Structure 1
Amino acid sequence: MSNRDAKLEAGKFPVDVDLVQRLVAQQFPQWADLPIRPVAMDGWDNWTFHLGERMKVRLPSGEGYAEQAAKESHWLPRLAPHLPVEVPVPIAVGGPAEGYPWSWSIYQWIDGESVTRHIDKLALAEDIARFLNALQAIDPREGPAPGQHSFLRGADPMEAYGADARRYVDALDGDIDTRAAYAILDAAAQVPATKPVWVHGDIAVGNFLARDGRLSAVIDFGCAAVGDPSCDLVLAWVFLEGESRAAFRSLVNVDEATWARGRVWALWKAALLAANNQSVHPEENVPLEVIAAVIADHRERAR
């Protein structure tokens, strides 16, 4: 099943080239003659289209993402100067029209290659840690607190999804070590909170671009917030492994309590996907492997 078909089957709002053409022509007539076509690798939260050769249009695929266009337009220009790689450059924000119910955005196009599992993972771990350290160092005052706009990224994961995590772990009894999974959740519930910092909210392989084998851009700040940075650590188990995971842990500027909550985020998401038999990004580790890696990491650090 194509990504588009999967989104439509899941009840996402249908968007096609014709609708995008009408929206652009009505609200930004200066670009009405530019060709529009879907991008090769679209995401889940938005429908994304090329607009000419140097721009893209992103339209939220559901109401839960509706606040993100305005948030990115406001905050990305303020975050970008402090970050070591390219991030999206907002050009314009459109409004509801032509039957489309939410705000939508136009951005500059960023050149780069999609990241695959064949990339030098050690180099990627270093680059992502450097990006996160720079992001967390930005003044968090006045930044948005975690909420629906961030799908609670930046919140304490046990408060946000702890009950769900336990339910999904129960559903996987027999497929995973449920006792060890509960130990991860119990341990995270006991660790102290950390000071709020900027978080990206979706540090995932689909949101990276590379040039010459190194990270060149991080995209999709729709889940950005100011809060607990543990949500930005999930890549350690979902994509990294062995030496690259160890390098990421040693370089990223978080304490052991935050790392413990990061395990909860990874466990919750992997258990949700496995319990519901949902597909994952083709370049990421499968959910049961993620859970096994999280459990192994917890045991190693508990020694």
Structure 2
Amino acid sequence: MHADQVDVAVDVVAALVAEQFPRWRGLPVRPLPSTGTVNALFRLGAEVVLRFPLRPNASPDLRGELRREQEHARMLAARMPVAVPEPLGLGEPGDGYPGSWAAYRFIPGETAERDRIGDLDGFARDLAGVVTALCGIDTGGRVWSGSGRGGPLADQDADVRAALAASDALTDTGALAAVWNRCRHARRDDPADRWIHADLMPGNLLVRDGRLAAVIDLETVCVGDPAVDLMPAWNLLDAGSRETYRRALGVDDATWERGRGWALVQAINALPYYVETNPVMAAIARRTLRAVLE
């Protein structure tokens, strides 16, 4: 998927575990199928999942990102109405893999798709409960950091225009440009930043017995515009449950339009990038773009 992506071999993973986590030496390692774009996943025994960044490096910055992700997981664990990943350790670069990596307790479940969800309206209300819980956590005066999702939507204009230009043969870019022009100007009456997940994609939501069971992949958790976490209204939910989600969150028209804009930002950037390399991500992008036009 990425020009600088590395292949992570099972024997390399097993050797790194044996060297750095002796208590887990000898546990079976097997790769987990994933359509994710950031990490290679491995099941270690019955209780552990290992996350190896696909684009590793030995810089303190990457280790800092992984450490912050685990700090966020600990912060959220007692505050979320569903499970979040439980950190178990951080690994170091070693032979065969030039970067830091992370270990978490395995959470059983399947990634969210409509045919795996028993009641889309109930799912929408459960997900709204997660977003409400996030927004209710004290930020301690933090504000958006200046990078990643969560800042002014209009700052995404150049990237969206470039992605639209690259997608002429893939989607209705004219109609999407009109929606984007409306969304990027949506006002923000409440300037207070909140805790947000910032990447509520179907692959980051786990379903068990048809219900929302966990929210995973916390590397994007930050403080920013809560409209970002409206993205599932378009990337996963149907028209009816989309309205259920909106009512459960009680958002105004301008916030809803900013959420639509963030869904468009994610999808139009993903579509041309993954259309050849990740069919699942490209299909989600197409679905999202169709929904934002409704």
- Compute the TM-score of the two structures, normalised by the length of structure 1: 0.84
Q: Is the 8 A contact 1:116 1:283 kept in 2?
A: no
Q: Is the 8 A contact 1:198 1:225 kept in 2?
A: yes
Identical columns (%) = 36
Letter in 1 for 2:293: I
Structure 1 partner of 2:178: 182
Letter in 2 for 1:201: A
Structure 2 partner of 1:156: 152
Q: Is the 8 A contact 1:181 1:295 kept in 2?
A: no
Letter in 1 for 2:129: R
Query: Which segment drifts farther, 280-289 or 258-267?
Result: 280-289
2:161 matches 1:166: yes
2:27 aligned residue (12, 22, 34): 34
1:247 aligned residue (244, 249, 253): 244
1:290 aligned residue (282, 288, 291): 288
Deviation at 1:173, TM superposition (A): 5.0
Number of aligned residue pairs: give it: 285
**78 and 178 in structure 1: CA distance in 2 versus 1, 3 angstrom threshold:** same
**102 and 142 in structure 1: CA distance in 2 versus 1, 3 angstrom threshold:** farther
Structure 1 partner of 2:216: 219
Structure 2 partner of 1:140: 139
**253 and 89 in structure 1: CA distance in 2 versus 1, 3 angstrom threshold:** farther
CA distance in 2, matches of 1:217, 1:132: 13
Letter in 1 for 2:12: L
Letter in 1 for 2:157: G
CA distance in 2, matches of 1:111, 1:246: 29
Residues 230-262 of structure 1: CA distance to partner in whole angstroms, max 9, x if unpaired?
222111111111110110111125443332221
1:82 match: secondary structure: coil
Structure 2 partner of 1:299: none
CA distance in 1, matches of 2:274, 2:89: 38
2:79 matches 1:82: yes
Letter in 2 for 1:52: G
CA distance in 1, matches of 2:26, 2:123: 39
**Unpaired segments ≥5 residues, structure 2:** none
Structure 1 partner of 2:197: 200
Residues 178-219 of structure 1: CA distance to partner in whole angstroms, max 9, x if unpaired?
256335334433512631111112101111122221111111
2:78 match: secondary structure: helix
Letter in 1 for 2:131: L
Structure 1 partner of 2:112: 115
- Compute the TM-score of the two structures, normalised by the length of structure 2: 0.86
1:209 aligned residue (206, 210, 234): 206
CA distance in 1, matches of 2:97, 2:76: 29
Deviation at 1:72, TM superposition (A): 1.7
